[in-house]
Amino acid sequence: MLNRIFNPENGFFRFMGLLVDVVAFSLMWLVCAATVVLLGPGTTALYDAMARHLRRGVLGGYVRFWESLKANFKVGCAAGLVVFALGWALLELHGVLFAGAAADNHTMFALYVAFWVCLVVVCGIMSYIFPVLSRFTFGVGGLLSASVKLALAHPFTTVALGLLTVGCLLACVAFWWPGLVVPYMWAWLASFLLERVFRPYMEQDRLEGS
């Protein structure tokens, strides 16, 4: 009886282990994102650990996180600063358009609606950047170019990623506690969308390398 209760394969302990991973990886990402400079490497490391280890139930996700953080530090930092600058510009634009829409300006309201449509697309495109870096070797320019090309080549995946990313951002803005789970959940859900996009290119790389 006691053996079954304290068995690490017991459903309760497996659930608690998953919960610890969800919160721990989310907090590690939040610490990286809070520095701004580590936003890119942290996002790359989170996705890399998720796609290579956590989603498959393979041990070593924490080690993979730190290895990926170090391996993609230089390019990830530069790309992260580009994403942060774009995000800041979009936030400022949102403030201007929201003020106009709230003032009963019909033109500004139409622009505000258009802004949200464009925001989903832009967030979808940006959602490729760090997962691409976790899988392929690029400089900053090549990384951004490849991410845009992949996003345009897979429009439905891009829109789905955009909706996922915007939804996660809104959840964290509205309440504080989703931040404890949202980074992990974003990486987990995004991996289902992105891994099938990456698979043909990764297989091609393996064939060319053999």
- The three-state secondary structure class of 210 is coil
Banded pLDDT at 174 (limits 50, 70, 90): confident
Residue pLDDT, tens place only, 1-48: 445 544 555 666 677 878 888 999 999 999 999 999 999 999 999 999
Q: What was the pLDDT predicted at 5?
A: 47
Task: Give me the numbers of helices (H) and strands (E) for the chain, helices first please.
Answer: 9, 0
**146 in Cβ contact with 138 (< 8 Å):** yes
25 CB-near residues (< 8 Å, 6+ apart): 46, 49, 50, 54, 61, 65, 183, 184, 187
Highest mean pLDDT among 51-65, 88-102, 111-125, 166-180: 111-125
Q: What is the pLDDT, as a whole number, of residue 202? A: 81
Using alpha carbons only, give the angle 16, 20, 22 rounded to the nearest 5 degrees: 115
Write out the residue range of the structural domain in which residue 111 sits: 2-209
pLDDT in tens, 48-103: 999 888 777 777 889 999 999 999 999 999 999 999 999 999 999 999 999 888 88
Q: What is the pLDDT of residue 13?
A: 67
Contact 50, 135 (CB under 8 A): no
CA distance 187 to 64: 14
- Does pTM top 0.75 for this prediction? yes
Structural domain count, the chain: 1
User: What pLDDT score was predicted for residue 2?
Assistant: 42
